[in-house]
A and B are shown apart, each in its own frame.
Chain A
Amino acid sequence: MTDTGLFIDGVAITLEGREILSLTRKVAPGEVLTVMGPSGAGKSTLLAYIGGVLDSVFSTTGRVFVDGVDVTALKPEDRHMGVLFQDPLLFPHMSVGGNLMFALPEAVRGRAKRAAHVAHALEGVGLAGLENRDPATLSGGQKARVALARVLVSSPRALLLDEPFSKLDADLRAQTRELVFSKARDSGLPVLLVTHDEADAEAACGDIVRIGA
């Protein structure tokens, strides 16, 4: 069982000789590790490193494993780390369904089968039948849910959440948070959440790491 989940093994990130953060943690499938810290503490840097998109001005040591596979040297597109940002960032030139179709792995073949997958994913976030909508016409909460459906339908190995609830108003925030965590739990995805909101950390019901304090 030690092989499953996300394993951050002795990761240290330095910028111009100054260490920004160092971390060793395991996140089991379905669990959430919350990384907290003030803005500028390097939370997003950690996510960029794990996602494989860190700017080359940073130097790094350590390794990242997903389900026992060392992904440290892999290209970002081969890591399958689903990302959610504080903005939904739906592709504005594609319909809601188009966004999900783009995310759906190629392994799912056949037009009907792919459409069924997408419909199912939208249903799962309570947005059944919105395939043909222009993302620009959705409400803020709907956009956040489409973004969630999009990342889930891509069959990621882990979820990286970069303050994904901070732009939603209080009501919507609790709701969306609940949806994201329950979906991750159901799919057995290890989740790395960075935030500066204590309520996010509490709702995550997992370990909390504080950095840059």
Chain B
Amino acid sequence: MPACETLPASVVSESADAQRRACRIVLAKVGLDGHDRGIKVVARGLRDAGLHVIYGGIWQTPEAVAQAVVDEDAEWLGLSLLSGAHLTLVPRVLAALDQAGADDVRVVVGGIVPESDVEPLRQAGVAGVFGPGTAIESIVHLLQDSAQVNREFEQIPSERNRPQLQGVASSSVATGTARSRQCLSRRLSELSDAQPAVEQQSTSTCNGGSKPASSRRTIAFAGSAGVGKSSLIARVVKELRRREQRVAVLACDPQSPLTGGALLGDRVRLTEVFPDEGVFFRSLAVPSGHQGIAPGIGLMAGCLHESGFGTVLIETVGLGQGDVAVRNVVDQVVVVVQPESGDSIQWDKAGLLEVADIVVLQKADLPGAGRLQSELADTVNVPVVTVGRDRPDGVGELLDRCVVRR
């Protein structure tokens, strides 16, 4: 595979040494089987071991898994199957990875796999198979052997890491579109790594802009944890796709200050959307002290715009008072609130409301919504949009209000 065009060495060299990127792994279940105890326990365990775990959840198709691996720029993919369908589904995932140009990602499989099936899976290119009774430590051991080697973009092996699959199309099937998507994804990682050196640079670090700047917008979604930011973003993405617009999501979740690990689970909410070439989704871990957004996020949004994703949605880690950095990198800040058991707007929330360009009142069908709405009307001078079971058009209204650039 040809190397992607990279940022100038002067920009990346210092930071690449300064901080080694955490190993990123996508965990997913393919097929119909919903037994997710194992995959959830492994996700927690790997996070606690310092990895960045992108949790894809159940009911994934091979193509959706491949898109997750590419968009998330993951080095590893962990598949869990307790359905006995591993000899059918795992080769399909490997083929989908090849189609997407992600033939260098390494794959591990967990679940109910009889000994006699382990060798065929290894032959197909699976790096490890873990059955019941596996200690998390032994999985970490295999993954972190690779994490010691920092990936250099120029050194992506030109031949396949995995042997050829029988009866499966060869790796040369990856199209130009697939390759440019992969390059975009790696560029985003670079921008994230290169902080803060690159922050000073111009944002034009990407090629192939397809839309005039005026149709581009970046919208941040802020609000306390559990208020339903991810669900709202999922609905906004679906609405944008209904309108045939391309959209990217940069979803931020906290990184553990102790282990550096992170469990990034926001993709799950868009399960039925993927695979979709018109939706780019990247999960980002936010170190503490970064004001609720990942380093380099403004540059990433610019890069996505230039790559044809007109709308970029940023999910913050629940901003608090004083976290205003997000205002500098987006066009609109949407603050999400929902009715809670009887309390009125607290002062800490009032601080958050100050940065809002639009307030969304979620779950407007719950008791207490009316009261919260009138309190909001008294407190803020920006539009309040209500979304709920009885307000299905709220998402559309929100998007229409987000058109105007600040």
Verify that A and B bind, or say they do not.
no
